[in-house]
Amino acid sequence: MTGQPLRAARALSVAVVGLEGLLVEVESALHQGLPGVQLIGLPDTAAAEARERVRAAVIATGLTWPSLRLVVNLRPADVRKSGSAFDVAVAVAVLLAAGLATDRRAENRVHLGELGLDGTVHPVHGVLPAVAAAVAAGHPEVVVPSENVPEAELVPGARVTGVRHLSEVAHGYGAEGVRMLQPVALERSTPAPVAEPAAKDLADVIGQEQARHALEVAAAGGHHLFLSGPPGAGKSMLAARLPGLLPDLDDAAAVEVTTVHSVAGTYRSSSGLIRRPPYEAPHHTASKAAIIGGGSRTLQPGAVVRAHRGVLLLDEAAEFPRTVLDTLRQPIEEGQVVLARASQRAIFPCRVQLVLAANPCPCGWASGKALRCRCTPKALRDYAGKLSGPLLDRVDIRVDVAAVPRAQLLSSRRGETSATVAARVAAARAAQAERWKDTPWRTNAEVDGPWLRDYTGRIDPHLLTPLKRVADTPELSMRGVDRVVRVAWTLADLHGLEHPGPAELGAALTLRNRDLDA
């Protein structure tokens, strides 16, 4: 075997780490020696198995697999390559190196897709960030599975070609003797179309005026919310209706959310950009990895990331393990999750509205109907300890949801609809967008606390004086003061005011279960 390869070629693909795409050069070289394929460049198990998938797919097209030693390198070699999206690029590089394909323009096109053993090109996850990275790197021509074409075309400037079978790719690049095959379609009965679930309307919630008001304030400013009350009071109903009060996502937010769900594998290409705020409600048995994200080989986003720019509901919050709940403290404060492993690191955005809903005690009746509570003092302490002080300190609005009187339950009177409340929320969000248009923030809940206090003080030096008195007590932390100020600004926006006054500050303290005279 000589040191120089007989023939060499390359193709391009993209590795997605977190939400970022990195251009990958797939180099192939044929050497004299025993026939075999060596795939190097730090592939994981799924990527390394491309050797057998590509070989079977090439043979299925009627082409002859080279009877030489073949080395395929995924460059840069120090970045872990995860998944099966490199299959088509590996196949193109091999065909070029073997002289089976002759069109060298293929070397400057980006190829994405997984190959089946019959040559079928299957869809893959993460196409949106991968194509965006390719265009940014100066390679706008991309070849993707036909099912991923609508997703790839969301990227401005991309020139997308969709393929269903490797024979199309080989023939397009000048290979001769290709059997033009079609993917083998499995015979399935056509499922009946599934109707979209009807939107949950706030008018369905009976009574609960205080909780409804808190929900509106949370929606208007993007604030975190804690609902506590006995079973059947309406906590879950209220929380499930929060997404219906939120406005549609703007273009930038829609691209962020769509990218997250593309990587997570929960995006439907036919739906275009995701315009509605997402909603995640994991069960209380969910693990830390399910909530935050993780994985030993490929770092995948968890529920808090999939809820980016939307709502994360933790119903029966006190039933979650405390270690799981406390992992949310940093992400909801900073708006991002940093997942680090020995060989890789990924950053995911998670600008969410956290909603916690819980009973006041294990039996649920320690509030309102205390005579029915049979919990021991120790059980009450242990239950209350599930929600740590540092986590609750990050929640802007805390509301006790009392049981609805029976007479009110039987009343035919309905409250305001979601559409009516959403109109006020949209007006408040518009005021915030205008106020913070020259800053990195979009809603009051996102604004940096010290900056907002200084901004508020410049408007009225005496406005924050009552808060200073409350801040001197152990009942309200400095973080709590900042969150009260944020809620006060949201109340002002809902009332159409230019800035909050003493009434809005007092109401914000009340929504945090604090009294101005405490």
pLDDT band per the 50, 70, 90 thresholds, residue 328: very high
The residue type at 71: V
**CATH code where residue 356 lies:** 3.40.50.300
pLDDT at 474: 60
pLDDT, residue 185, reads 52
The pLDDT assigned to 190 comes to: 43
The reply to whether 505 falls in a domain is no
CA angle centred on 496, ends 200 and 275, rounded to 5°:
40
**Domain boundary residue, one of 154, 172, 190:** 172
Q: By mean pLDDT, which of 57-66, 204-213, 338-347, 469-478 is the weakest? A: 469-478
How buried is residue 458: exposed, middle or buried, by Cβ count under 10 Å (0-12/13-18/19+)? exposed
231 within a domain of the structure (yes/no): yes
- How far apart (Å, rounded) are the C-alpha atoms in residues 383 and 362? 7
pLDDT of amino acid 189: 43
pTM here is 0.87
Instruction: Decide if pLDDT at 368 tops 70.
Output: no
Same domain for 209 and 345? yes
pLDDT > 70 in the chain, percent? 90
Q: Give yes or no for residue 251 having a pLDDT over 70.
A: yes
Q: Would you state the structure tokens that stand for residue 50, as one six-digit string?
A: 């491309």
- In the three-class reduction of DSSP (H, G, I as helix; E, B as strand; rest coil), residue 324 is classed as helix
User: Using CA atoms, how far apart are residues 226 and 215, in angstroms rounded to an integer?
Assistant: 10
Average pLDDT on 356-379 reads 79
Decide if 195 is inside a domain. Answer: no
pLDDT of residue 355: 96
> Are residues 285 and 144 part of one domain?
no
What's the confidence (pLDDT) of residue 176?
A: 84
The first and second tokens of residue 277, run together, are 């705020």
For residue 71, what are the domain limits?
7-172
What confidence tens digit (pLDDT) does each residue in 207-246 have? 888 999 999 999 999 999 999 988 888 899 999 999 999 9
What pLDDT, on a 0 to 100 scale, did the predictor assign at position 340?
A: 83
The confidence score (pLDDT) of residue 467 equals 76
Could you tell me the CA-to-CA distances from 98 to 7, 21, 88, 255 in Å, in that order?
A: 7, 29, 15, 40
DSSP-derived secondary structure letter, 249: P
How far is it, in rounded angstroms, from Cα 445 to Cα 427? Answer: 16
- CATH number of the domain to which 128 belongs: 3.30.230.10
> Is the per-residue pLDDT at 193 higher than 50?
no
In whole angstroms, give the CA distance from residue 81 to residue 74.
Answer: 8
Whether residues 90 and 207 share a domain: the answer is no
The helix, strand and coil proportions of the chain, stated in percent and rounded to the nearest 5, come to 40, 15, 45
How do residues 143-180 score in pLDDT, each as one tens digit? 999 999 999 999 999 999 999 999 999 999 988 878 77
pLDDT at 168: 93
Specify if 500 maps to a domain. no
What confidence score (pLDDT) does residue 37 get? 87
Mean pLDDT over 33-55 rounds to 88
342 with 229, same domain: the answer is yes
402 found inside a domain? yes
Domain identity same for 403 and 299 = yes
DSSP letters along 413-455, please? Answer: -----HHHHHHHHHHHHHHHHHHTTTSS-SSGGGS-HHHHHHH
Residue 346: the pLDDT is 87
Supply the pLDDT for residue 320: 93
Q: Is residue 498 part of a domain?
A: no
pLDDT at 302 over 90: yes
**Residue 144 and residue 251 share a domain:** no
What residues pair up with 383 in beta bridges, in sequence order? Answer: none
Whether 154 and 207 share a structural domain: no
User: 367: pLDDT confidence band, cut at 50, 70 and 90?
Assistant: low
Task: Kindly state whether residues 337 and 234 are assigned to the same domain.
Answer: yes
If asked whether residues 230 and 304 sit together in one domain, one would say yes
Closest CA to 317 of 291, 278, 336: 291
pLDDT, tens digit, 9 for 90 and up, residues 113-127: 999 999 999 999 999
**Residue 45, pLDDT above cutoff 90:** no
Question: Which pLDDT does position 263 carry in this prediction?
Answer: 92
Higher pLDDT, 66 or 517: 66
Torsion of CA 371, 361, 402, 282, to 10 degrees: -150
- pLDDT tens string 15-29: 998 899 999 999 999
- Whether 419 maps to a domain, the answer reads no
Cα–Cα distance for residue pair 92/353, rounded to 1 Å: 45
Residues 121 and 213 placed together within one structural domain of the fold: no
Which pLDDT band holds residue 518 (cuts at 50, 70, 90)? very low
* pLDDT computed for residue 74 by the predictor: 94
Mean pLDDT of 339-357: 88
According to DSSP, the residues that pair with 337 across neighbouring strands are 348
- Rg (alpha carbons) of the chain, rounded to whole number: 28
Q: Which residues pair with 313 in a beta bridge?
A: 355
73-77, 185-189, 239-243, 508-512: least confident range:
185-189
Residue 232 resides in a domain: yes
Q: Is the pLDDT of residue 1 over 50?
A: no
Same domain, 60 and 110: yes
User: Cβ distance 28 to 94 under 8 Å?
Assistant: yes
Question: How far is residue 437 from each of residues 221, 264, 384, measured CA to CA in Å?
Answer: 15, 31, 41
- The model's confidence at residue 6, banded by pLDDT at 50, 70 and 90, is confident
pLDDT at 404 over 90: no
| Cβ count within 10 A of residue 214 | 24
Q: Is the pLDDT of residue 378 over 90?
A: no
Domain ends where: 354, 386, 414? 414
Residue 225 has a pLDDT of: 96
Say whether both 39 and 163 belong to one domain: yes
What pLDDT, on the 0 to 100 scale, is given for residue 76?
A: 93
Q: Looking at the 3D structure of the chain, how many domains does it have? A: 2
**pLDDT classification of 183: cutoffs 50, 70, 90:** low
At residue 370, does pLDDT exceed 60? no
Predicted pLDDT at 517:
40
Q: pLDDT (tens digit, 9 = 90+) per residue, 54-87?
A: 999 999 999 988 888 899 999 998 888 888 999 9
> For 462, which DSSP code?
T
> pLDDT-based confidence at 503, cuts 50/70/90?
very high
Task: Choose one of 365, 396, 414: the last residue of a domain.
Answer: 414
The pLDDT of residue 498: 92
